[in-house]
């Protein structure tokens, strides 16, 4: 059950983040882009967080070793970097100095996080023998 939820939540997280980031990349001329970007990326991060908890509990209850493979390590990196991107996304509206640097960091870290998430998804599907 935990493994099923891990897969489901990670799939949903990837879809949410793809939607949220695409909105910022391709639909920035639309009036509601920031609302949608914020909503989908926050939901994506919550799904990612819950999915990591499911994976951790799955490994723990099945007596396995944690972070025992490339999928698990890439997945953890993806999760942490997405968390930092989310933080920077909110923080840029409060920053008094270095605003341009924070924006650039948010943009590039966000893009890199998405790449890592897609890599983790593919590695996970391979590890589970699905592809
Ligand atoms: C965004 C996508 C994903 C991320 C970020 C992610 C992240 C993680 C993390 C951090 C762990 C480590 C848990 C631990 O060692 O305590 C893990 C375990 C695992 N994940 Fe994923 N995962 C993703 C998608 C998937 C998918 C789609 C599958 C399979 C279809 C999958 C299969 C597995 C398996 C089999 C384990 C446990 C391996 C073991 O028993 O040690 N993951 N995942
Ligand atoms: C998981 C969380 C997030 C990720 C992965 C992410 C990712 C990204 C990416 C990749 C871009 C650049 C799009 C492009 O130009 O191609 C971007 C832009 C932007 N994001 Fe996010 N974002 C996240 C959360 C947020 C949040 C919560 C906010 C606001 C509260 C936010 C506000 C913005 C703004 C204002 C821009 C435009 C920045 C600029 O003008 O340079 N983001 N985001």
Q: Give me ligand 1 centre to Cα 62, in Å.
A: 14
Would you state the pLDDT for residue 9? 98
Under 8 Å between Cβ of 14 and 121: yes
Would you state the pLDDT for residue 109? 98
Q: 71: closest CA among 127, 14, 15?
A: 127
Query: Tell me: the pLDDT tens digits for 23-68?
Result: 999 999 999 999 999 999 999 999 999 999 999 999 999 999 999 9
Q: Which atom of ligand 2 is nearest to the CA of 108?
A: 10
Pocket test for ligand 2, best of 37, 78, 82, 84 (most atoms within 8 A of CB): 37
Under 8 Å between Cβ of 9 and 54: yes
Q: What is the mean pLDDT of residues 1-8?
A: 97
Does 115 sit in the ligand 1 pocket, CB within 6 Å? no
Q: Is 55 exposed, middle or buried (0-12, 13-18, 19+ CB in 10 A)?
A: buried
Query: Tell me: the pLDDT tens digits for 94-119?
Result: 999 999 999 999 999 999 999 999 99
Which domain, by its residues, includes 15?
A: 2-127
Q: What is the CATH number of the domain that holds 21?
A: 1.20.120.1770
Token reading at 97:
């100095």
Would you state the pLDDT for residue 51? 98
Does 86 sit in the ligand 2 pocket, CB within 6 Å? yes
- Our count of domains for the chain comes to 1
* Phi, psi at 67, each rounded to 5°: 50, 45
């Amino acid at each position: 059950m935990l493994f099923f939820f891990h897969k489901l939540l990670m799939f949903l997280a990837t879809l949410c983040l793809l939607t949220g980031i695409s909105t910022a990349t391709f639909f920035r001329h639309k009036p509601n882009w920031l609302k949608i970007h914020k909503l989908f990326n926050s939901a994506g991060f919550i799904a990612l967080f819950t999915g990591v908890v499911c994976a951790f509990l799955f490994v723990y209850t099945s007596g396995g070793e944690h972070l025992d493979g490339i999928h698990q390590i890439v997945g953890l990196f993806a999760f942490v970097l997405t968390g930092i991107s989310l933080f920077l996304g909110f923080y840029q509206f409060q920053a008094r100095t270095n605003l341009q640097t924070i924006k650039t960091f948010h943009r590039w870290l966000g893009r890199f996080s998405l790449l890592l998430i897609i890599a983790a998804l593919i590695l996970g599907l391979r590890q589970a023998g699905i592809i």
